[in-house]
A and B are shown apart, each in its own frame.
Chain A
Amino acid sequence: MSNRRDFMGMALGAFTGLGALGALYAAKKTWEPLPSVKAAGKAVIDLSGAKEDVLNTEVWRGKPIFVMKVSKKNPAYKDNRLVKVGNDKFFIAIGLCTHLGCIPTYFPDKGKFICPCHGGQFDAAGRVLKAPPPKPLVIPPFNVKGTKIVLGEEGEEYKKMKAAKLV
């Protein structure tokens, strides 16, 4: 066994590895969401007909979105996680528990959300009242346009909330 022999075998092996990386790159692209999925990443929600303290569930990117016009008498009214649209304040959040992704149920009489999976609780601004959820319900990227709100777009207000680490 001369050195050259080993060297050639190893050079070939290394070069083959390079090709395998190329194939893995193609495989990774194959595994990505399709363009049609990405293109469907925006949803427009009309808030003009919303009733106070009544929870509406919309869908964006396949996930439930909680939308609720919060009344002045609701204890969460002053919370800075609410979104101001016109003269009203709205609670907008992805309706999946930040613990393990179940959908919390809203109890209007108690004014809070309770997760059926592990008992986590949130108030009407999405803040955690009871563990295990580690953080408030996530606010999706939004852009307020008149009485409508576009999900999947980062508007001015969202950027401010994001900077304040409220989302």
Chain B
Amino acid sequence: MKELKILAVVVFFTLVTYWGVEPYAHSQMHKHVEGHDFTYQDINASGVKGDPAKGKNLIAACAGCHGIKSQGMKAPMDAMGASAAYGVNPPDLSNAGAIFDEKFLIAFLQNPAHTAKAKPNFAMPPSAASAQDAADIVAYLKSIAPKEVSPKEAYVTACGRCHANSYGKWTQIGDIPKTKGNIKTGNDVALAQFKINVAKYQDKLADYMGKLPPDLKIIARARSKHYLETFVEDPQSHLPGTAMPRVGLTKEGFEKVYAYLESTGDPSKPLREKTGPIVLGFFLIFTLLAYGWYKSQWKGLK
């Protein structure tokens, strides 16, 4: 039928154009980075077995900078003090055993900057004298790790001290507090003070990292999941020379972090996926009815 032939021509040229400006053009613009499912193949397994009890005794080496809230250990300094001292606030280790890779952590404790592929001024010093010590500490961290870590907790531990997420109300020094302004003046001194602290922290952080790490509020729409996955697995693979360290997440840990990024960056996704079939179903029936009307109107015309 003639009309179908015409339609085929239109569809053909449309698809060629689409292919050229989307899949093909993007394949030429961005290099393809293959993911390795967070297996960290460049790191050799230590082969030693860690003992959590021994690790507990060694944890003092960590507690000089890090807190472990779940074990009642407060960090020696708050976020502001830590950023003034190190440029960045060291993470609380309560969830570390749950989201970071074991092999990565053992190597990281012995040689942090190298393992993280970070700059030489990386704030964390080597913190385990031997592979055995490192394995013991990691075994301890795994023993205290909670069974279930929420997406936000994973984000806070892995990303949250460098990256704000303003759509999730998160700043590098914590959640934006609920404050109440002065009714007579409209001023909110507590909030203003908090903002000053965030600004001071960010200035220190920018000095330490070379630039302010971006707010990840809507990164889930700005980058594909594949990009984020391979970038987090090894930042250097996409941006050679970037100051962002390799943080050593496990695959599951990354999925948690990504779930949080999607919840702030693309929260309409569930409703979008629910509404789509309804709307398309409506137009399918609409088209069938319209076809019936068309056929009845054009009957006997040709």
9 additional A-B pairs beyond A9-B293, A15-B286, A18-B282, beta carbons within 8 Å, are A4-B296, A8-B293, A8-B296, A11-B293, A15-B285, A19-B286, A22-B279, A58-B183, A59-B183
Contact among B282, B290, B293 for A19, CB-based, below 8 A: B282
Interface hits, B150-205 → A, CB 8 Å? 180, 183
| Residues in B lying within 8 Å of A, measured CB to CB | 180, 183, 278-279, 282, 285-286, 289-290, 292-293, 296-297, 299
Q: Closest chain A residue to B286 by CB distance?
A: A15
Chain B residues, CB < 8 A from A18: 282
Question: Is the C-beta of A12 less than 8 angstroms from some C-beta in chain B?
Answer: yes
Query: Measured between C-beta atoms, what is the minimum distance from B17 to chain A in Å?
Result: 30
* A58-99 interface with B by 8 A CB criterion: 58-59
Q: Contacts of A4 on B, CB cut-off 8 Å?
A: 296
Contact residues in A for B285 (Cβ distance below 8 Å): 15
Interface SS, B side: helix
Query: Once the chains are docked, how many angstroms separate the CA of A47 from the CA of B290?
Result: 67
Contacts of A19 in B (CB 8 A): 282, 286
Looking at A2, A5, A8, A18, the one whose CB has the most chain B CB atoms below 10 A away is A8
Closest to B292 in A: A8
Q: What are 18 A-B pairs at a CB distance below 8 A? A: A2-B296, A5-B293, A5-B296, A5-B297, A8-B292, A8-B293, A8-B296, A9-B297, A11-B292, A12-B290, A12-B292, A12-B293, A15-B285, A15-B289, A16-B286, A18-B282, A19-B282, A44-B180
User: Considering only CB atoms and an 8 Å cut-off, how many residues of chain A contact the other chain?
Assistant: 16
Assembly CA distance A35 to B282 (angstroms) = 29
Question: Closest CB of chain A to B287's CB: distance in Å?
Answer: 10
Complex: chain A residue closest to B294, CB-CB: A8
Chain A, Cβ-Cβ closest to B295: A8
**What residues of A have a CB within 8 angstroms of the CB of B279 in the complex?**
22
B182 to chain A, nearest CB (A): 11
The distance in angstroms between the C-alpha atoms of A58 and B181, with both chains bound, is 12
